[in-house]
Structures are given as C-alpha cells and as structure tokens.
Amino acid sequence: MSDNSAGPIASACSFTLVFALVGALGVVRAQSQPGQTTPTPPPLPLSPTGERGASITPAYEGWFRNPDGSYSLLIGYYNRNRAEALDIPVGPNNRIEPGPIDQGQPTHFAVGRNWGVFVIKVPADFGTNTVTWTIVSNGETQTIPFTLNKAYVVEPYQEAGMGNKPPEFRFAATGPAFAGPPTGAPVSLTGVVNQPIPIAVVVNDPKETKEGSAASRRGPATAAVATVSFHKFRGPGQVTFAPQRAPVKAQGESVSTVATFSAPGEYLVRVQGNDESGEGGGGFQCCWTNAYVKVTVK
C-alpha cells in the first residue's frame, strides 16, 4: 500500500476553508460605469450559510481494507443549505471518475452534514490512484479526491481504542445482520403512489465500549440503545416518513416508519442507526450503520 504525499482533502470543512481563504484574497468588486447598475457582490467566503442557494460538497470519511484485499472508500457529503434539499441525478452534475460515473452515490441531498452514506470499492492494487466525486449545485462545482493516504484509515466496524461497534440491523426477525457502512439493499418492498408503505427494522447494539473510555463519557445517549432515522437516497419523487426518527429503547426492539412516495418509480431509502457516539461517531468515524431499502412504487 503506497502513501500519497499530497493527501486527499478529508472533509467538507477543510475544503471549504481552503477555498474561503483563496476567495478572501481574490474577491474584487466590479466598478460600475455611468448609467450601469452595480452588480450584486458575491457572498463573503466565510459568511453564514443561507436557507437556499448554497453548494453541496463531497466529504471523505476515510478508507478501510476489506477481507478480500480490496479497499472501500467511505464517503458522505455536506449540503450547506439550511432549508433546501436537492435532487441531482447521476450525470455531468453528479459524477464519479474514473470509471462509471454511477458508483452508488446519492441523488438526493438532504440539508446539513450526512456521514458515510455510501462506499466506493477499489481493487487491492489501487495504490496511489485517485477517485473523484464532482457535484454541481446552485451553479457551483465542488470536487473532492479520494486516495489511500495513510492518514485517512478508519475503523467503521470496531474502534480499536474504545471497543465500540455500530448498531446491528435485521429487516426480518431471523434474517442476516447488517452493521457499519452500506453494502447493498438487503430488502425490497413494493407499494403504490401516495399510499403509506411500512419499513421496519430490528436493532441491537453490541455496546462493547470500555467503561470509563472517551466514548462512554461522550455525553447522554439519544436513546437507550440507538436512534434510527430514515432518509431518501434515490428516486424520482418526494418521500415523507412518519416518524423520520425513532428511538430504540431496548435490545432487539423493532422500530418502524411509514414512507409515502409522491411519484412512481424505483427508490432507495437509507436507514441510519446511531449509538451513543452520535452523528459521525463523534468524529471517530465509528460507529454508525447505514443500510438501503429498495422500494418499487407503482
């Protein structure tokens, strides 16, 4: 495994800061001529995000090695808008390079920071190569490179220093368990436009966090075991969930939502589970679970 001395930009925050500094040095206000209207200056680079009109930036959580010797790149995104979720189909404005532009990335971008929502698998001989994800939104182009830089190794299945593990999902009482980064759509559902479709998941949390460790002191848990939330990942129409978040209060408890779809087509719903470490594992890139549910709406 080779190190890339240049290193990737690891997060939306660092990417934003670099371009903010460049922008701060390079902003020049246009001078108006007689009879002309002074153009509206661009927003200051470090100004607070607005409700709408801002960009979406890919975010690199890091990479981990698979049992077969290949590698998985764990990727999220940051939608800077406070009230504008965007749908960007796979294509020139939502592409991964090199290779197929469709490598499982989302086409629906909820507001805020969304952690580890998909993975790109690369071969064992990937070496110092680079994969990029480009998102064009509200007229802005954001591209982030992903490499196997040693500084970005993550442990999404168990954090060695604390022993913590992500919650486990089962979509059937005796079905297989899913934990950590998404690995496919383990269940498929069908339904009709504007008719609620139930989605249920059984949740356990291994809770091997060492007593007295940083993870155990990270603050009050959002639920006794975990918190499960439901998100549109892909699909042609709007999706509403009731509820959108649900606490898991006991090991092995089943939590559910009803999803309503506004248009026919193929959808992916992302089901996310967070233990006491919270969103993004409190910065440790462990331990949360994402899984996809495929829904065909007629």
0.85 exceeded by pTM: no
Are residues 184 and 84 part of one domain?
no
Identity of the residue numbered 212: G
CATH number of the domain enclosing 271: 2.60.40.10
Positive or negative: CA dihedral 20, 24, 28, 29: positive
Read off the pLDDT of residues 44-60 as tens digits, 9 standing for 90 and up.
Answer: 444 455 778 899 999 99
Read off the pLDDT of residues 282-296 as tens digits, 9 standing for 90 and up.
Answer: 878 899 999 999 999
Q: Report the half-sphere exposure of 228 (CA within 13 A, side-chain side).
A: 32
Whether 189 contacts 296, CB under 8 Å: yes
36's CB contacts (< 8 A; 6+ apart) are: none
Count of structural domains, the chain: 2
Q: Give the integer Cα–Cα distance in Å for 175 and 181.
A: 18
Are residues 107 and 184 part of one domain?
no
Read off the pLDDT of residues 196-214 as tens digits, 9 standing for 90 and up.
Answer: 999 999 999 986 544 544 4
Are residues 235 and 110 part of one domain?
no
Q: Give the integer Cα–Cα distance in Å for 167 and 169.
A: 7
Are residues 221 and 137 part of one domain?
no
106's CB contacts (< 8 A; 6+ apart) are: 77, 114, 117, 118, 233, 234, 270
Range of the domain at 71: 12-152
